[in-house]
């Protein structure tokens, strides 16, 4: 008699059953025990489209829809608010000390608005200080106001779409108004207050550069009236206090090591890992590697005959050419490309094929450059090869350089230039990058170069280094699957796993060890898997050791956010279609006189 523990972990619960499985005719199979353990998500929260953090709602349903959920969001939001307040208070304290040391104010000077009808007094002083003389005490109040809200500064992190894209677009629009009307931030806000006193000026964010320009204008004007305003003091207040920003700390040291090109060394009794670091997922090299890995794993099944085959080398190369500037190809598009038309009797083992997302973003920006130059290019029905040729032809006709698009090495340099640019002090945060790209392509205007400078590539890292990929990729292009390509390149792809013999001879522990906290990227999956581990240990404590443990993992736990979102949308769509069809059928049956229950 074999004793088996069956586990069915889901997003909201973990189901389990202890089964007695007969091995001989005289034995009888049966269920010895069963139960369900609820997974608790009480401390989990999610980020709404407007950026606010909320802990209301069903976390499991939100997760299925592709929403990021985490137990750390509330804590992180509170920590960020504390840090912002702390940094502001530190700047204010330093600024007050500096102003007192230089005779602007004394310890008894009131720094807030006092008296009747003085609600917007400091705003009025701030607008006035750009063109007229104010006292040093009044200037101190103006500087303290600028210090409180000093504008948005780009760090070139995250995606420029959705709510973030709308937020930045609104900032850009307000900043453009300042340039067109030759206004400072203070003049713009005071004008709003005088014209619409009940509307207020909340959420009127500007670029950091707009505040820096306002500081320059105010200081230049007030220097004519106050000898205390020296260049040295200006540098102290502007660069060391109000607009001081600690450089973003480099995280290169936190990047993991390649599993194929790393080794452990012992120094003074301590073990260290050394070797090649893993490559960013947006690297053109990694994008090509990932694309070929998927192509070599594709299997085509004939539903009518049950025959399964892999792609031929010619088919792989044809698909690779089409995927070279596309993010992905759907299953239907792949079948149409291979057979010339959609065939329902053919099925793929993947819903879509991964393409080169980095090249797709770059070529999308190039098409926007072409549109700015006055040319229209409808690419909806064009192949990738035709799009590449058209872009290069139009660029050449306009006198733009195309070497960054035609040469693989130069294309990689273009990606690295955009990907690694840290940002600058300009309004957009990337004027230096824009100028570099303009020179690289010989564009006519900065607006054209900005289309490329605005690209934000996907974040994250792979698990291999460029050194390893450069050895494996040529083998994969010859048609070898990843495991075989690794062997051909001199690597053991399963270096971290054990052999069959080692697995059979290894000593089993009495209990299952829980997953260490924060060791998985997805905290929800970590919570569910640990709940499953606790369930296994609890059931073993009651029923003893098992001969086998069977686990059925739901696809939601193995899918990324995009896949979960698509799957949920498809399920919702199918449910609505079925409900609509059911209602129509009931109405037709009722019209024909049939009873409908």
Tens digit of each residue's pLDDT (9 = 90 or more) over 334-363? 999 998 887 888 889 988 999 999 999 999
Three-class SS state of 266: strand
Mean pLDDT, residues 414-439 taken together: 89
| Contact (Cβ atoms closer than 8 angstroms) between residue 234 and residue 219 | yes
Q: Is the pLDDT of residue 449 over 80?
A: yes
With vertex at residue 12, the alpha carbon angle to CA 6 and CA 18, rounded to the nearest 5 degrees, is 15
Q: What does the alpha-carbon distance between residue 54 and residue 67 come to, in Å, rounded to a whole number?
A: 12
Banded model confidence at residue 289, pLDDT cuts 50, 70, 90:
very high
Instruction: State the chain's maximal CA–CA distance in angstroms.
Output: 107
Q: Cα dist. 81→50, 137, 385, 386, 437 in Å?
A: 17, 30, 50, 51, 37
Provide mean pLDDT across the span 114-138: 87
Average pLDDT over residues 575-592: 90
- The answer on pLDDT for 159 being more than 70 is no
pLDDT number for residue 101: 94
Mean pLDDT, range 103-129, rounded to an integer: 85
Count how many Cα atoms sit within 13 Å of the Cα of residue 292 in the half-sphere of its side chain.
22
Which residue has tokens 């590449």? 388
- The residue with greater pLDDT, 74 or 391, is 391
* Three-state SS at 37: strand
Query: Is 70 exceeded by the pLDDT of residue 498?
Result: no
Task: Measure CA of the first residue to CA of the last residue in the chain; give whole Å.
Answer: 49
pLDDT score of 22 more than 80? yes
pLDDT of residue 591: 87
Residue 117 pLDDT level (bands cut at 50, 70, 90):
low
SS3 content of the chain, % helix, strand, coil (to 5): 50, 15, 35
Residue identified by tokens 């992190």 is: 157
Q: What is the DSSP letter of 152?
A: B
pLDDT of residue 562: 76
Which of 449, 456, 435 is closest to 157 using CA atoms?
456
Position 272 scores a pLDDT of 83
pLDDT above 70: residue 559? yes
For 70: left if phi > 0, alpha if psi spans -120 to 50, otherwise beta; the answer is beta
Mean pLDDT of 430-450: 93
pLDDT in tens, 385-424: 999 999 999 999 999 999 999 999 999 999 999 999 988 8
For position 59, what pLDDT does the model report? 81
C-alpha torsion sign, points 166, 168, 171, 172: negative
Position 168 scores a pLDDT of 81
Q: What is the pLDDT of residue 496?
A: 59
Model confidence band, residue 561 (pLDDT cutoffs 50, 70, 90)? confident
CA separation for the pair 16, 476 (Å, rounded): 42
Q: Give Rg (Cα) of the chain.
A: 32
pLDDT of residue 558: 74
Report the range of poorest mean pLDDT among 61-65, 406-410, 413-417, 577-581: 61-65
Tokens of 88: 């502001």
Phi/psi zone of residue 158: left (φ > 0), alpha (ψ -120 to 50 degrees), beta? left
Average pLDDT, the chain: 88
At 157, is the secondary structure helix, strand, or coil?
coil
pLDDT of 475 above 90:
yes
What is the 8-class DSSP label of residue 341?
S
Q: For the chain, what percent of residues have pLDDT higher than 90? A: 56
User: Which pLDDT band, with edges at 50, 70 and 90, does 314 fall under?
Assistant: very high
pLDDT for 446 beyond 60 = yes
pTM for the full model?
A: 0.75
- Nearest one of 563, 44, 193 to 354, comparing CA atoms: 563
Segment 278-303 shows an average pLDDT of 95
pLDDT band at 27 (very low <50, low <70, confident <90, very high): confident
Residues 94-108: pLDDT tens digits? 999 999 999 999 998
- Predicted confidence at residue 499, as pLDDT, reads 67
Residue 489 banded pLDDT, cuts 50, 70, 90: very high
Cα-to-chain-centroid distance, residue 102: 47
Give CA–CA dist 61/11, Å, rounded. Answer: 9
Please give the pLDDT value at position 56: 76
Q: Measured at the alpha carbon of residue 59, what is the angle toward residues 54 and 65, in degrees to the nearest 5?
A: 100
For residue 573, is pLDDT > 70?
yes
The residue written with tokens 């909320």 in the block is 54
Asked if the model's pLDDT at residue 248 lies above 80, the reply is: no
Highest mean pLDDT among 66-70, 94-98, 340-344, 523-527: 94-98
Burial label for 414, CB within 10 Å (0-12, 13-18, 19+), is buried
Of 250, 175, 160, whose CA–CA distance to 212 is shortest? 175
- Determine the Cα–Cα distance for residues 331 and 203; give it in Å rounded to an integer: 45
Work out the average pLDDT over 160-165.
Answer: 59
Residue 247 has pLDDT above 90, yes or no: no
How open is the CA angle 263-488-411, to the nearest 5 degrees?
80
């Amino acid at each position: 008699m074999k004793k088996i523990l069956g586990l069915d972990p889901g997003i909201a619960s973990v189901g389990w059953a202890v089964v007695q499985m007969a091995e001989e005719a005289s034995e009888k199979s049966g269920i010895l025990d069963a139960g369900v353990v609820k997974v608790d998500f009480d401390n989990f929260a999610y980020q709404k489209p407007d950026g606010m953090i909320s802990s209301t709602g069903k976390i499991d349903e939100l997760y299925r829809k592709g929403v990021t959920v985490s137990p750390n969001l509330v804590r992180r939001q509170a920590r960020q608010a504390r840090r912002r307040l702390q940094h502001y208070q530190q700047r204010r304290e330093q600024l007050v000390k500096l102003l007192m040391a230089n005779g602007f104010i004394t310890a008894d000077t009131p720094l807030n608005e006092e008296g009747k009808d003085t609600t917007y007094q400091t705003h009025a002083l701030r607008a006035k200080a750009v063109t007229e003389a104010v006292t040093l005490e009044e200037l101190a109040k103006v500087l303290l106001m600028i210090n409180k809200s000093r504008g948005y500064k780009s760090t070139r992190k995250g995606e420029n779409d959705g709510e973030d894209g709308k937020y930045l677009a609104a900032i850009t629009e307000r900043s453009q108004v300042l340039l067109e009307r030759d206004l400072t931030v203070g003049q713009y806000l005071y004008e709003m207050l005088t014209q619409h006193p009940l509307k207020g000026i909340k959420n009127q964010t500007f670029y950091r550069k707009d505040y820096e320009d306002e500081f320059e204008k105010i200081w230049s004007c007030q220097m004519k009236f106050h000898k205390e305003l020296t260049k040295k003091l200006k540098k102290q207040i502007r660069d060391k206090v109000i607009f001081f920003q600690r450089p973003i700390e480099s995280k290169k040291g936190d990047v993991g090591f390649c599993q194929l090109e790393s080794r452990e060394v012992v120094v003074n009794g301590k073990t260290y890992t050394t070797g090649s670091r893993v490559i960013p997922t947006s690297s053109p090299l990694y994008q090509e590697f990932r694309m070929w890995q998927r192509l070599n794993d594709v299997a085509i099944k004939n539903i009518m005959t049950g025959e399964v085959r892999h792609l031929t080398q010619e088919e792989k190369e044809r698909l690779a050419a089409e995927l070279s500037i596309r993010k992905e190809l759907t299953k239907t598009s792949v079948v149409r490309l291979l057979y010339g038309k959609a065939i329902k009797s053919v099925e793929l083992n993947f819903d879509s094929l991964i393409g080169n997302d980095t090249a797709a973003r770059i070529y999308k920006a190039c098409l926007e450059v072409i549109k700015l130059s006055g040319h229209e290019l409808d690419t909806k029905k064009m192949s990738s090869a035709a799009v590449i040729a058209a872009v290069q032809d139009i660029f050449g006709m306009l006198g733009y350089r195309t070497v960054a698009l035609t040469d693989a090495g130069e294309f990689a340099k273009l990606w690295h230039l955009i990907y690694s640019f840290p940002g600058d002090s300009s309004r957009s945060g990337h004027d230096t990058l824009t100028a570099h790209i303009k020179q690289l392509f010989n564009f006519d205007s900065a607006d054209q170069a900005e289309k490329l400078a605005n690209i934000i590539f996907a974040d994250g890292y792979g698990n291999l280094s460029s050194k390893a990929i450069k050895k494996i990729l040529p083998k994969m292009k010859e048609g070898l699957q990843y495991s075989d390509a690794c062997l051909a390149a001199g690597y053991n792809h399963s270096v971290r796993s054990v052999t069959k013999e080692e697995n059979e001879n290894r000593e089993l522990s009495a209990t299952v060890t829980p997953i260490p906290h924060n060791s998985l990227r997805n905290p929800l999956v970590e919570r569910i898997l640990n709940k499953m581990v606790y369930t296994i240990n609890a059931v073993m404590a009651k029923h003893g050791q098992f001969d086998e443990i069977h686990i059925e993992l739901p696809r939601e736990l193995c899918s990324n956010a995009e896949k979960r979102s698509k799957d949920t949308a498809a399920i919702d769509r199918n449910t609505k279609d079925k409900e609509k069809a059911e209602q129509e059928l009931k109405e037709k049956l009722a019209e024909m006189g049939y009873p409908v229950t």
